[in-house]
């Protein structure tokens, strides 16, 4: 029987790391190779979305639609191939200050730690590997589990039961992320949220939805620690 009191689900991009331009370039290349159509992406069209949803939205914008139901998965697989080659040497990827301290702190607490990310599982592994972060997580829910981010918390509850025979009520689940999508994901599932604001222009839309905790950074870590200690 587990003594864990909370399930903590953590986002990757913008929360723990900044992966730079390589994922976007790899996805553009994959879409062009398979469809013959050049595409451009804007930041606010990508943040917080699952890989498959980004691909599906792009195909719709190109007027290609989904006549071939396997097309998004074909593009995703090609993207992951290109990304796995290019990312390890990418000069613009970085880990955010305080990210390791956050994970080290949570690892000492009675919590089960998992990933909740729009990345496909393989993409998440590729992104976290250079920073040694994959080892912190017992399990995860990913963009290839569902294209709808809001479904991922429910899948996490199912997975954590299957893997560890643990059950958590929604109010004992905390989602840590950086976008309004992470916050909505928590709210619709009646879960709690900790949001780190990486872009000042996103702050007002995040504040309007009232996360349980909003911070500018994980440095200093004390606001996050103090908040968790009240729950634990």
Q: Are 200 and 128 contained in the same domain? A: yes
Q: Are 65 and 178 contained in the same domain? A: no
Q: Are 174 and 225 contained in the same domain? A: yes
HSE, side-chain direction, 13 A CA sphere, residue 103: 24
Q: Are 105 and 148 contained in the same domain? A: yes
Quick check: is 99 in a domain?
A: yes
Q: What CATH number does residue 156 fall under?
A: 3.40.50.1000
Q: What is the mean pLDDT of the chain?
A: 93
- Number of folded domains in the chain? 2
In the prediction, which pLDDT does 225 show? 98
Chain segment 114-128, per-residue pLDDT in tens:
999 999 999 999 999
Residue range(s) defining the domain that contains residue 33: 22-89
| Of 40 and 7, more confident | 7
Quick check: is 1 in a domain?
A: no
Domain closes at, from 34, 56, 89: 89
Chain segment 179-194, per-residue pLDDT in tens:
999 999 999 999 999 9
Cα–Cα distances in Å, from 83 out to 21, 75, 140?
A: 11, 12, 20
In the prediction, which pLDDT does 46 show? 63
Q: Are 133 and 167 contained in the same domain? A: yes
196 token code pair: 């780190």
Q: Are 113 and 167 contained in the same domain? A: yes
Please check whether residue 99 is in contact with residue 123, taking contact to mean a CB–CB distance below 8 angstroms. no
Q: Are 185 and 227 contained in the same domain? A: yes
Domain closes at, from 53, 74, 89: 89
Domain closes at, from 30, 59, 89: 89
Write out the DSSP string of 118-164: SS-HHHHHHHHGGGT-GGG-SEEE-TTT-S-GGGHHHHHHHHHHHHH
Q: Are 105 and 181 contained in the same domain? A: yes
Chain segment 36-76, per-residue pLDDT in tens:
999 987 655 566 678 988 898 888 888 886 666 789 999 99
């Amino acid at each position: 029987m587990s003594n864990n009191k909370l399930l903590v689900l953590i986002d990757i991009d913008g929360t723990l790391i900044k992966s730079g331009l390589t994922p976007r370039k790899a996805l553009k290349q994959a879409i062009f190779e398979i469809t013959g159509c050049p595409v451009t992406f804007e930041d606010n069209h990508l943040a917080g979305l699952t890989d498959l949803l980004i691909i599906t939205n792009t195909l719709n914008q190109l007027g290609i639609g989904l006549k071939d139901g396997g097309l998004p998965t074909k593009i995703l697989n090609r993207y992951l191939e290109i990304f796995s080659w290019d990312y390890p040497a990418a000069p613009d990827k970085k880990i955010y200050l305080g990210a390791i301290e956050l994970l080290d702190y949570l690892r000492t607490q009675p919590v089960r730690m998992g990933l909740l990310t729009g990345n496909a599982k393989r993409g998440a592994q590729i992104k976290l590997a250079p920073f040694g972060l994959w080892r912190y997580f017992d399990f995860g829910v990913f963009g290839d589990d569902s294209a709808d981010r809001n479904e991922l918390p429910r899948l996490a509850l199912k997975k954590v039961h299957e893997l560890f025979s643990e059950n958590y009520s929604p109010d004992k689940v905390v989602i840590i992320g950086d976008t309004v999508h992470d916050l909505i994901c928590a709210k619709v599932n009646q879960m709690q949220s900790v949001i780190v604001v990486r872009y000042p222009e996103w702050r007002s839309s995040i504040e309007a939805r009232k996360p349980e905790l909003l911070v500018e950074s994980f440095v200093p870590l004390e606001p996050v620690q103090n908040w968790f200690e009240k729950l634990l």
